[in-house]
Amino acid sequence: MLLTLVTFIPLIGGLALLFVPKGKDDIVRGIATAAAAVALILSVIVLLGYDKSLAGMQFVEHRIWIPSLNVTYYLGVDGLSIAMLVLTTLLSLISVIYSYNITSRVKEYFFFFLLLETGMLGVFLALDFFLFYVFWEITLVPMYFLIGIWGGPRKEYAAIKFFLYTLFGSVIMLLGIIALYFASPSHTFNMLELAEQAPTFTKLFQNVIYAALFIGFAIKVPVFPFHTWLPDAHVEAPTAVSVILAGVLLKMGTYGMLRVSFSILPQAVLYFAMPLAVLAMINIIYGAYCAMAQKDLKKMIAYSSINHMGYVLLGMAAMTTAGLNGAIFQMFNHGIITGALFLLVGVIYDRAHTRDIEGFGGLGSIMPVYTGIMMVAVFASLGLPGLSGFWSEFMCFLGAFQVQNTWMKIITGLSAIGIVVTAAYFLIMIQKVFLGPANEKWKSLPEINRRELITVVPLIVIMVVLGFLPRIVMELSSKNVDSMVKMLGAIKP
């Protein structure tokens, strides 16, 4: 019952707040916060009860749902999803608190937000493909409205682009799911059962299905060249929604690849490992250079997400223990770090109403606390040892370099250029925004306030703690990764 509770508590909260009479926005905020907080607490209970020495599914719930189609209500958590579960509930609560500054159509806003949370949690917990797809699609609608109603100047364009692009991907994914359903001997949507039946699928079939699913997942990640919805959506979305977009939604793509492609289509995964590595490299280098060219702070962080998700892809393409553990860890870290960065960009935008990197200067002496926090987040993002981002990035690279394939080593080496470029664009930004003489125009900007601190400090603490004790998160996935590497290793390409 625990996983069902985690998943649906936000939705229940969302429905409850619809009954709050008009004008009582504080009660709406209170209910939303309570729902998100309860979900976080429950997910922490799951985390504490999670046995990391096992590779299998835990907290399983399996019920008949639509018998005629053999669709079941099937939830469970394992090493691939446990970190995502906690990341989702944590970032959701933080985003809800940050969203207290939303003043128009408050009730609808929080309803959509909590509906979105339920959708995301469902994606990470569903073990039935049909259920997975339902949750996957549920996330689309609230996100569309959250960007389209509460977004920036080009919100309609960004929202429609996001919606249509991802819908396009998920329709192709749906075809893949249906094909898998009919190809499986037992006509099932059960992911674990499908994984067991993987050997019965022909290579060609696996490759075709992989490609279909890949488009769905790749758009979400996003993988070059399917990425252009991301800068628009991230920039136009309100701060808290950007946090969720970058922090959680992107992970649905890489999580989907791991959960579905890696377990059900191992032959195809081996077949496409090299192209995936090349795409990872493009994401890393291209994303980094595009970030360097940005003048808008938020857009820079958006492109840096493309860059950082490339590390995840590289670790996955490696298919080694270090690479896959690194990839899962990087998914978590990117959520925390980029989440914090978007919050921090929101803080400055709320004050200055601009995000033009060139227009700032000397904020370090005007807002010292804010600057200090920003620096930690930036250094975590550019992979400074001692902060969480370093470990996952390095493991992705290490795992990829281990592969006994010269091309893979070359790709990894070239990708490492991305790290240098990342350092460059972040430092250029720091210099232009925070250092130098204080810009008169911003002399009176108030320091980061309490609500903002409450949202961002926990993320900073996590970056530092994981910087010293990365195993807290890494241990969670290691058993699953071991069995996955073993399984992939046993297959002859």
Partner 1 sequence: MKKKSASDAGKKAFITNKFGDFGFSIGIMMIFAFCGTLNFGEVADAISKGTLSGSALTLAGILVFCGAVGKSAQFPLHVWLPDAMEGPTPVSALIHAATMVAAGVYLVARTYFLYAASPTASAVVAYTGVFTAFFAATMALVATDIKRVLAFSTVSQLGYMIMALGVGGYTAGMFHLTTHAFFKALLFLGAGSVIHGAATQDIRDMGGLGKHMKITMVTFFIACLAISGIPPFSGFYSKDEVLLAAFNYSKPVYIVATFTAFMTAFYMFRLFFRTFTGEMRTKLHPHESPYTMTIPLMVLAALSIVAGWLFVQGHAFESLVHFKEGAAEEGNALVVWISIAASVIGIGLALAVYVLKIVPDGFFRNKFPRIHKVLINKWYVDEFYDKTVIKPSLNLARRLFSFDAKYIDGAVNLTGIINVVISKLHNVFDKAAVDGAVNGVAEAAQSGGGLLRRVQTGLVQNYMLLLVAGAALAVVVFFFVK
Rounded Cα distance, 462 and 460, in Å: 5
391 scored as a contact of partner 1 (CB under 8 A): no
Q: Cβ 493 to partner 1, closest distance in Å?
A: 20
Q: Cβ 83 to partner 1, closest distance in Å?
A: 24
Q: Please say whether the beta carbons of 183 and 172 come within 8 A.
A: no
66 scored as a contact of partner 1 (CB under 8 A): no
Q: Which residue, 144 or 286, is less far from partner 1 as judged by CB? A: 286
Q: Which residue, 130 or 394, is less far from partner 1 as judged by CB? A: 394
148 scored as a contact of partner 1 (CB under 8 A): no
Strand partners, 66: 71
229 scored as a contact of partner 1 (CB under 8 A): yes
Binding mask 282-301 for partner 1 (x = CB under 8 A): ----x--xxxxxx-------
Q: Cβ 217 to partner 1, closest distance in Å?
A: 18
Going along 231-302, which residue ranges are E strands? none
For residue 451, give the nearest of 53, 75, 96, 17 by alpha carbon.
96
470 scored as a contact of partner 1 (CB under 8 A): no
Q: Cβ 437 to partner 1, closest distance in Å?
A: 6
Rounded Cα distance, 113 and 99, in Å: 10
Considering only residues 427, 457, 464, 487, which one is a binding residue for partner 1 as defined by CB under 8 A? 427
420 scored as a contact of partner 1 (CB under 8 A): yes
172 scored as a contact of partner 1 (CB under 8 A): no
Considering only residues 54, 64, 66, 164, which one is a binding residue for partner 1 as defined by CB under 8 A? 164
Preceding peptide of 67 cis, ω within 30°: no
User: How many other CB atoms are found less than 10 A from the CB of residue 471?
Assistant: 12
Q: Which residue, 240 or 290, is less far from partner 1 as judged by CB? A: 290
DSSP three-state, residue 65: strand
Q: Which residue, 55 or 416, is less far from partner 1 as judged by CB? A: 416
**Segment contacting partner 1 by CB under 8 A, of 42-50, 234-242, 266-274, 413-421:** 413-421
Binding mask 434-463 for partner 1 (x = CB under 8 A): -xxx--------------------------
402 scored as a contact of partner 1 (CB under 8 A): yes
DSSP three-state, residue 397: helix
- Which class for 294: exposed (0-12), middle (13-18), buried (19 or more C-beta within 10 A)? buried
Q: Cβ 317 to partner 1, closest distance in Å?
A: 15
Binding mask 241-280 for partner 1 (x = CB under 8 A): ----------------------------------------
Instruction: Please state, in angstroms and as integers, the Cα–Cα distance from residue 94 to each residue in 25, 77, 218, 270, 423, following that order.
Output: 18, 23, 27, 38, 27
What DSSP string runs through 122-152? Answer: HHHHB-BHHHHHHHHHHHHHHHHHHHHHH--
DSSP three-state, residue 52: coil
Q: Which residue, 248 or 309, is less far from partner 1 as judged by CB? A: 309
Residue 99: DSSP 8-state: G
Preceding peptide of 225 cis, ω within 30°: yes
Q: Please say whether the beta carbons of 281 and 305 come within 8 A.
A: no
- Which class for 470: exposed (0-12), middle (13-18), buried (19 or more C-beta within 10 A)? buried
Q: Which spans of this chain sit near partner 1 (rule: CB under 8 A)?
A: 161, 164-165, 224-225, 227-229, 286, 289-294, 362, 364-365, 394, 397-398, 401-402, 409, 412-413, 416-417, 419-421, 423-425, 427-428, 430-431, 435-437
